[in-house]
Copies of this chain bind each other. A is one copy, B any other.
Amino acid sequence: MAKQMYTLRDIPKYETIRACAARYPEIDPASSAACVLLLRVASDILASIEDYLALHNFSQGRWTVMMLLYRFPDNPLNPCDLAERAGVTRATMTGLLDGLEREQLVAREPVLADRRMLEVRLTDKGRQALDDAMPGYFRLIRRLTGGLSTQEKETLMELLTKLGATAMAEPEKEEAGPCAEAAKS
């Protein structure tokens, strides 16, 4: 049942890093240990989530698409929007939508105003599948973070925010066109 690991790989083990510290002066053991631990915990949590979603025949990517569509029932999204919001390429989104459409969870429809675009909508079957999976999904997340008090969660989030801000201090590449950018709520 439990998948080996979805995709976030094992990462050099803590001991490995310590062993190397003797040979490479660049190593800051505290930094390395924090990094490894962060990636490992994230990987474990992600694996749990993937395992749960797999029971409902969703992958993380497909689930993300469904959640996005669920959120904007009135304001249909096109594949380009979805790709940007989900953080994948448009090519990947094509594949995700192919799969979801094959199972009739979503439908693609032409946009009259711009024939390059499509509109993607949840079908009734899709909405149903989402309703079935959603409660358990959020129960799982609550359980996964249950070891921390509210205060601790806040502290964790502060530290992660700080960490994220530093870590992201350079790439932030601009990919392609504006792609609507509507409905920012």
Interface set of A (CB-CB < 8 Å, partner B): 1-2, 4-13, 15-16, 19-20, 24, 26-28, 30-35, 37-46, 48, 51, 60-61, 63-64, 67-68, 70-71, 85-89, 134-136, 138-139, 141-148, 150, 152-157, 159-168, 171, 173, 185
Contacts and interface: CB of A to CB of B under 8 A. Distances in A.
B145 A163 contact: yes
Nearest to A152: B159
Given A37-B160, A67-B12, A31 B167 contact: no
A157 B37 contact: yes
B163 A156 contact: yes
Copies of this chain in its oligomeric complex: 2
Nearest to A34: B153
Given A4-B87, A24-B138, A164 B44 contact: yes
